[in-house]
Structure 1
Amino acid sequence: MLLHKGCYRARLAAGPADVAAAQALRTLCFRTGAADCDAYDAACMHVLVEEARTGSLVCCFRLLLLESGAELGRSYSAQFYDLEGLRAFRGRMAELGRFCIHPDQHSADILRVAWGAVTALVDAKDVQMLFGCSSFAGTSAAEYLDTFAMLKHRHLAPPCWLPGVKAPDVFRFAAGLRPRPDPKLAMLRMPPLLRTYLVMGGWVSDHAVVDARMNTLHVFTGLEIAAIPAARKRRLRAAAG
């Protein structure tokens, strides 16, 4: 058990049945039709967030540990982004992927418990950078223009870490974005996972990848653990305690 807070608990998958349950939830959330499973599943730790009383699965994600940026070629994200700049990162890294919450579940405590579990694993494994693909539902950029404009103006990666374009179908933030995005609309359309990354000091790529198989747009997202504000770290560790 990673943690138990209020109505929810988080734990690592104990075997193939747990991984299959996570894959089933991913299939439901991402609406992939065919079962959402891939070769990366075997290399990852899978975390399940469950309703404590019933054991119902309400959220899941997976983590892939890398010893340094030199191992980024093993990551899921490396299929879609040129991560050459990040290969110089010397600390341990973890790729957070396939994060999803059951569409019928709306409690904010689920996200809090999930981040508490992430924090517990980051601390236990001495992770220095968390990264992954933050997904937007659908493959049309039109409804996310305010969000993408805000990301471009406020949250781009440092030049030394900025991912390059690799995927064949991308939406570049330099093209067609509003010079003055509507902040309320931008936040409304921003996925909760990405919003949490950003309040902790995270950053994103300068383009979104159009992923037709997963029916999403996604942006590369990075978070250097050392850059998280001290007050935020205390809250995260309190949630993980």
Structure 2
Amino acid sequence: IATAAGGFYSEGEFELTKLVARHPGQRFLELGRSCVLPEYRSKRTIEALWQGIWAYINHYGIGVMTGCASFHGTVPAAHAEALTYLAHHCRTDQAWDVRAVAGRYCSMDLMPIEAVNAKAAIAAMPPLVKGYLRVGARIGDGCVIDHEFSTVDIFVVMPVKEIGARYVNYYGGEGQRFAA
């Protein structure tokens, strides 16, 4: 379906086509930016979004979720501790590795790993990134400056089979009522 629509949005920043080609039996779902009015930004709203995504995954047999997650601003060094932590502790394994496109690649390894305070690095991450990591997602190689949205983007890969059982149980049971 993505091919018919002109491709995945993330392909402009990351080598997603190569990742998809290495897993021909998998169905990929790209998650993108969503906007929620401030007065509706709550835990329940996020839960409803994830329950809908879970129902979609099950209905269409999705095997892998991917997409960009963003840090505010266009200066990777402003997020050096968090990005370095991600580069050393949260990378994809070789089977799921994906890299920022050559012309836009920025290193995430911005400081000596010995200087990274893990607790501070995690605290400095956007809530969405921390949420993805809790569920079982891993991060691709390199970040990209997205001038259009004034963000530093990282690539998130989340094979459905690797999602923690506690999250499958939490979103799966309630999420089934959203299935078409």
Fold shared per TM-score above 0.5: yes
Whether 1:154 aligns to 2:94 is no
SS in structure 1 opposite 2:84? helix
Q: 1:178 to 1:143 in 2, by over 3 A?
A: farther
| TM-score (normalised: structure 2) | 0.83
Whether 1:88 aligns to 2:44 is no
Cα pair 2:80 2:110 within 8 Å, conserved = no
Between the aligned partners of 2:46 and 2:171, the Cα distance in structure 1 is 12
> Structure 1 residue 99: deviation in Å?
2.5
Whether 1:102 aligns to 2:51 is no
Between the aligned partners of 2:153 and 2:133, the Cα distance in structure 1 is 15
SS in structure 2 opposite 1:77? helix
Question: Which amino acid in the other structure matches residue 21 of structure 2?
Answer: R
| TM-score (normalised: structure 1) | 0.64
What are the ranges of 5 or more consecutive residues in structure 1 without an aligned counterpart? 1-64
Which of these two proteins has the greater Rg computed from alpha carbons?
Answer: 1
Whether 1:118 aligns to 2:53 is yes
Between the aligned partners of 1:109 and 1:183, the Cα distance in structure 2 is 29
Q: Give the root-mean-square deviation of aligned CA atoms.
A: 2.3
Partner of 1:229: 164
Cα pair 1:86 1:161 within 8 Å, conserved = no
Whether 1:144 aligns to 2:79 is yes
Cα pair 1:149 1:178 within 8 Å, conserved = yes
Whether 1:193 aligns to 2:128 is yes
Structure with bigger strand share is 1
* Aligned residue-pair number: 173
> Structure 1 residue 177: deviation in Å?
4.9
Q: What is the aligned-residue identity percentage?
A: 24
SS in structure 2 opposite 1:94? strand
Partner of 2:12: 79
> Structure 1 residue 160: deviation in Å?
2.6
- Cα deviation, 1:52-95, whole Å, max 9, x if unaligned, reads xxxxxxxxxxxxx55xxx99x81111111123244121211110
Partner of 1:170: 105
Question: Which amino acid in the other structure matches residue 76 of structure 1?
Answer: Y
Cα pair 2:100 2:143 within 8 Å, conserved = no
Q: 1:180 to 1:235 in 2, by over 3 A?
A: farther
> Structure 1 residue 161: deviation in Å?
2.2
Between the aligned partners of 1:177 and 1:218, the Cα distance in structure 2 is 21
Between the aligned partners of 1:205 and 1:219, the Cα distance in structure 2 is 7
> Structure 1 residue 165: deviation in Å?
3.2
Question: Which amino acid in the other structure matches residue 8 of structure 2?
Answer: S
**Greater relative contact order (CA < 8 Å, ≥ 6 in sequence):** 2
Cα pair 1:148 1:177 within 8 Å, conserved = no
Structure with bigger helix share is 2
Q: 1:187 to 1:91 in 2, by over 3 A?
A: same
What are the ranges of 5 or more consecutive residues in structure 2 without an aligned counterpart? none
Q: 1:175 to 1:86 in 2, by over 3 A?
A: farther
- Cα deviation, 1:90-149, whole Å, max 9, x if unaligned, reads 211110112333345442222121111111111111100000011111112233222112
Cα pair 2:138 2:158 within 8 Å, conserved = yes
The equivalences for 1:59-74 within 5 A come to 74=7
SS in structure 1 opposite 2:114? coil
> Structure 1 residue 180: deviation in Å?
4.1
